[in-house]
Amino acid sequence: MKILQNSGVPIYQQIAEQFKADILAGKMRQGEYLPSIRGLAKDLRISVITTMKAYEELEQQGLITAVQGKGYYVNAQDSEMLKEQHMRKMEEHLINAISAARIAGVSDSELVGTLQILLNAKDEV
């Protein structure tokens, strides 16, 4: 896990986002336990309170659940919810790409053409 001290994003949020991405990508599966709060804090050389805040945020989002005396584990993920999460992320990236294209003076047809090229290139990989 990478934490950027000078990113402007709070450390707890960076931790939560990285775990969230791993859970939504299927890298962490249902029932899998997250590292202990103290262990993760020690590994990252951060406060236990910071780690706890990240886990609480993930719990509020319904991604993990606390088990007394055992720690936090990954909840089952609804496939429709996962798809919706990925769609929102994709839309956000596309909005950023459209914005960049507008600033660069790229036409809609050039933008669509670039997307088509990228889609075709991905199929070849």
Q: Is the pLDDT of residue 79 over 70?
A: no
Q: Which helix (H) or strand (E) holds 10?
A: none
Any idea how long the chain is? 125
Helix (H, G, I), strand (E, B) or coil at 88: helix
- Predicted confidence (pLDDT) per residue in 30-62, tens digit: 899 999 999 999 999 999 999 999 999 999 988
Q: Is the pLDDT of residue 78 over 80?
A: no
Under the banding of pLDDT at 50, 70 and 90, the label for residue 66 is very high
Torsion of CA 116, 119, 120, 122, to 10 degrees: 160
Structure confidence at residue 101 (pLDDT): 95
- 89 vs 91, more confident: 91
Structure confidence at residue 73 (pLDDT): 94
Q: Are 12 and 50 in contact (CB under 8 A)?
A: yes
Residue 34, burial from CB neighbour count under 10 angstroms (0-12, 13-18, 19+): buried
Q: Is the pLDDT of residue 83 over 80?
A: no
Under the banding of pLDDT at 50, 70 and 90, the label for residue 77 is confident
Q: Which helix (H) or strand (E) holds 67?
A: strand 64-67
- Rounded Cα–Cα distance for residues 105 and 88 (Å): 25
